Structure 1
């Protein structure tokens, strides 16, 4: 190995080129900071190459596969579609490659120095970078850790099994599974379930030690109905005891309360969350605080407990979401540049690109009660929305949670077509401390999916136009305590 003779000095070094890392790099460069970005893989990180983008390519394909019956209903005679996995992968590779080239071009345009290699921290504000047969040493004024996280696999599951897949591997699969068993119930599990179901797989979801998917109960109920309608089997409150592979099958031995169950499938996807990519970073050279799972503790500026060291994205405590990483990256860069940015994850949006999309922000009904609010809710089933009906996308509902005493909006929860795009309006309303009048007063275009919001709001007072009187919410606030 060739070792560099000189320690090179850099103003800002960013370790990791995923959404948080490259966003931080570009924002810092915009603010006049000289930036060096170190990435051992491809720019865009796991999100672009194996996670966010590939999963949404699959979801988009699944959505189109599900449209053929509606197309026949409206007079378009195309016949039942056939799915070509090879062509699908070619399209996905082109999409990913195009986006990666876009990130590379942006870094170049912003005069960001990009180094391909593996970084490790050393004492004295130094970072060593190994790239092939070379090793270079850099000294930094400031550094941002943006190394992301990797899929968690429990010890009971042998990672050498060929048909057992991690969350970050599922979209590299080259064939449509005959029977995909999914152990986990997070957004990755749900997206994979509906995507492969649309592509022809039999799908079974095993909810790890719980009875729901973690959404507001009314969203959970509707999601369960939609999944069962699609013939996706759900096994609740079960825990894996052992997993075996043989004869082209993966066999799960489960314990459901006091009952033993056996589930066989052609493939097993394990999606039980993530663990931070920190083991090989040499963090022992720094005085950074971590939690029990190794996630870095940061303040509102994404700054760690070590002087001049920041951290953003999945390597930090909090939800493993690209939207968090992107915002943290901007905040860290701006704080390094001497600005006073603000970061509050209270209203971070959660979206799931299932066949019937899910999106929410703010408090659930139960969370609002736990925080001491006098809670009032309103709901509207999208089956009563004209635009949803004419597009053949009638599944889902809108639920709004508010404080009955002040009319303050507390949470917005949606499942149905358009939910992912519509949630932005909910986030804006929550951030602006909107009240019921602020949402019910404006015009809502007709016909549109947006009208579901207005109907949900008006259902609180029994004034929704497209809900029969006997089905109006009229749900009064329940006393706390």
Structure 2
């Protein structure tokens, strides 16, 4: 006897930040929704093995780092590291959030199916778990299958000393010397954690700078702040890794030639690849590009009209907050609303020490696109709050259109930089000018005051720094 498949208004394949945001929004709009998740716990990479657990570990790393820094008259004892307690903090953070997600799914009557989802047609999908298969039918579907870590052919992944972003979070042991292969945000955040816990860190980046995407002047502050803690090798290619009983022997190639480096662990963090070629997506007519990205329009709709895609599997930055906003848009379009996904600015934050945060147009991108911009940079060495807090190694930068003085981008490096970025993101979305920000009263003394002071600097009204635009009084 064949059972009639269950039918839903919407099925969301994937339960990460984009997937659950879409499912919950659609349920709130009155749709009958199901969500398919291949892992036992919902929440996707971000909540389970990504953004959230890494931030829990970075919080611990920050506490350790505080003990190493000059406390202006206060001396701390050397921290005692309890890896088991740190792992417990990481996991309890994850469990709290995923548990809350499960409760919200239940409250919204979003049905969850655990297993591998595979499209059979534009209206039918199968879910397989433990050799048992169930078929589901749907009016609409949202593809939220995310991305996976890129694997390199020469890396001996079966060696436990080879780590990726997921296994590194487990903190099974702290190596004496760890090579981070890739100078992106993920690699640098985990480098920050392991360095605080006692590892010597070397970062090898193929490009000409670490933290690609951020302007070099911001990255330079980070590098200078960590020059005694980490070694940064740019324009450096790792061509081979050989595992020996004593160490991992890494072959490096740079402008000066080839050399070897012996380390105790290698963290491979060279980027992520979209999962668009999986789950039978292409088989049902959904167009994907050569790299595996699903092609969508401004409503997150794919080439198949009733199927949408969001998150890492679509073009654009692979960031959880991009995915969640796309999830809302897709759900609202399916529910009949006329909305589009057209952000002017998507913020990026490296939760390192110091933090590096940027949004909108960078100076590097403006130069590449021949856009005439100027920048106004306020140094934290002139910030009362930064001086009082001993965190003067930082800066706040506004990038604006040369003619209209409309703010097009911004960047901050320094303590809590990510928390200061929201105002600039909002300013870009609202089309604010330097004058708009300069005339907004910012609290004194505060770090966010540096945003207002940067605007005053660009507008020529600043009094907290020498004002080159000031009108000089003429003698009578």
**2:256 and 2:304 mapped to 1: Cα distance?**
48
Match of 1:479 in 2: none
Instruction: Report the Cα offset of residue 320 of structure 1.
Output: 1.1
SS in 2 for 1:60: helix
- Residue 203 (structure 2) pairs with residue 226 (structure 1): no
Instruction: Report the Cα offset of residue 161 of structure 1.
Output: 2.2
- Residue 111 (structure 2) pairs with residue 113 (structure 1): yes
**2:38 and 2:245 mapped to 1: Cα distance?**
37
Judge conservation of contact 1:86–1:174 (CA < 8 Å) in 2. Answer: no
1:283-298 equivalent positions in 2, closer than 5 A? 283-298=281-296
Judge conservation of contact 1:54–1:171 (CA < 8 Å) in 2. Answer: yes
Distance change >3 Å, CA 355–CA 257, structure 1 → 2:
same
SS in 2 for 1:157: coil
Distance change >3 Å, CA 326–CA 383, structure 1 → 2:
same
1:251-330 equivalent positions in 2, closer than 5 A? 251-330=249-328
Unaligned runs of 5+ in 1: 475-481
CA offset digits 1:1-27 (Å, max 9, x no partner): xx9632222211111111111110100
Match of 1:73 in 2: 72
Instruction: Report the Cα offset of residue 78 of structure 1.
Output: 4.4
Judge conservation of contact 2:87–2:171 (CA < 8 Å) in 1. Answer: no
Instruction: Report the Cα offset of residue 461 of structure 1.
Output: 5.7
Q: Which among 337, 351, 375 is matched to residue 349 of structure 2?
A: 351
Bigger CA drift: 286-295 or 331-340?
286-295
Distance change >3 Å, CA 113–CA 473, structure 1 → 2:
farther
Instruction: Report the Cα offset of residue 445 of structure 1.
Output: 0.4
CA offset digits 1:452-479 (Å, max 9, x no partner): 112322333665444456xx799xxxxx
Match of 2:236 in 1: 238
**2:167 and 2:124 mapped to 1: Cα distance?**
33
Distance change >3 Å, CA 188–CA 18, structure 1 → 2:
same
Instruction: Report the Cα offset of residue 74 of structure 1.
Output: 5.1
Match of 2:398 in 1: 400
1:145-156 equivalent positions in 2, closer than 5 A? 145-156=143-154
**2:150 and 2:345 mapped to 1: Cα distance?**
26
Match of 1:446 in 2: 444
Instruction: Report the Cα offset of residue 170 of structure 1.
Output: 1.4
Judge conservation of contact 1:16–1:148 (CA < 8 Å) in 2. Answer: yes
Distance change >3 Å, CA 139–CA 464, structure 1 → 2:
same
Bigger CA drift: 362-371 or 33-42?
362-371
Match of 2:473 in 1: none
Match of 1:28 in 2: 26
1:467-478 equivalent positions in 2, closer than 5 A? 467=465
Match of 1:460 in 2: 458
CA offset digits 1:27-70 (Å, max 9, x no partner): 00000000011111111011111100111011111111112255
**2:327 and 2:282 mapped to 1: Cα distance?**
23
Match of 1:48 in 2: 47
**2:291 and 2:444 mapped to 1: Cα distance?**
49
**2:465 and 2:196 mapped to 1: Cα distance?**
32
Match of 2:138 in 1: 140
Instruction: Report the Cα offset of residue 393 of structure 1.
Output: 2.3
CA offset digits 1:242-270 (Å, max 9, x no partner): 11111242221011035112222111111
Match of 1:430 in 2: 428
CA offset digits 1:391-414 (Å, max 9, x no partner): 232221111111121111111100
Instruction: Report the Cα offset of residue 127 of structure 1.
Output: 0.5
Match of 1:166 in 2: 164
Runs of 4+ in 1 over 4 A off after TM superposition: 69-72
CA offset digits 1:231-251 (Å, max 9, x no partner): 210111011111111124222
Instruction: Report the Cα offset of residue 422 of structure 1.
Output: 1.0
SS in 1 for 2:54: helix
Distance change >3 Å, CA 72–CA 418, structure 1 → 2:
closer
Bigger CA drift: 104-113 or 363-372?
363-372
SS in 1 for 2:237: strand
Distance change >3 Å, CA 365–CA 39, structure 1 → 2:
same
**2:469 and 2:382 mapped to 1: Cα distance?**
15
**2:194 and 2:448 mapped to 1: Cα distance?**
29
Instruction: Report the Cα offset of residue 290 of structure 1.
Output: 1.0
Bigger CA drift: 293-302 or 242-251?
242-251
Distance change >3 Å, CA 45–CA 406, structure 1 → 2:
same
**2:222 and 2:70 mapped to 1: Cα distance?**
24
Instruction: Report the Cα offset of residue 145 of structure 1.
Output: 0.9
**1:212 and 1:355 mapped to 2: Cα distance?**
14
Match of 1:477 in 2: none
TM-score (normalizing by structure 2): 0.94
Instruction: Report the Cα offset of residue 132 of structure 1.
Output: 2.0
SS in 2 for 1:234: strand
